[in-house]
Amino acid sequence: MARAEARDCTMRLLYGRELGGEGVETSIEELMDLRLSQEDLAYVRGVLDGTEQKQEELDALIEQYAIGWSLGRIAKVDLSILRLALYEMLYREDVPTSVAINEAVELSHVYSTPEAASFINGILGSVARSLEEAKP
């Protein structure tokens, strides 16, 4: 399975969690039908655990850069996509920032409204520029 497919699975699990769905372990087991490689399964588990641990920080960034939007106004699927991408940008050294942003936009094309892509791209692009400026 390609990383993009593992990322898609991860976003769906984050979205399910956001909606108050079943436990993550049950959902991951169901995803085993997709024949996740050990590497992909490690990615999924790592990102799920990481986004849960860092959710406050990720949500604070979303609120900071989604000017005029509260978390409650952002569609849950878009929130899941944003959390996933931000986690990759901040904590996954194996995912370049540009890839995290491009993949998030692609996920929004599949799972959200046509307007969501520019909204998500705008937030992630602003965070990326801020991170770049903060580098020594």
Identify which of 2, 83, 4, 97 has the alpha carbon closest to the alpha carbon of residue 49: 83
pLDDT in tens, 54-77: 999 999 999 999 999 999 999 999
**What is the mean pLDDT of the segment spanning 36-43?**
83
**How distant is the alpha carbon of residue 31 from its chain centre?**
18
CA distance 73 to 82: 14
pLDDT, one tens digit per residue, over 72-84 is 999 999 999 999 9
CA Rg value for the chain: 14
Q: At residue 22, does pLDDT exceed 60? A: no
Query: What is the CATH number assigned to the segment(s) 3-134?
Result: 1.10.940.10
Q: Any long-range contacts for 72-79 (C-beta under 8 Å, 24+ apart)? A: 75/112, 75/113, 75/116, 76/15, 76/18, 76/19, 77/15, 77/111, 77/112, 77/116, 78/108, 78/112, 78/116, 78/119, 78/120, 79/18
**What is the share, in percent, of the chain residues with pLDDT greater than 70?**
88
Mean pLDDT value across residues 90-96: 94
Domain segments of the chain as ranges: 3-134
What is the separation of C-alpha 112 from the centre of its chain, rounded to a whole number of angstroms? 13
- Compute the distance between CA of residue 99 and CA of residue 84 in angstroms, rounded to an integer: 12
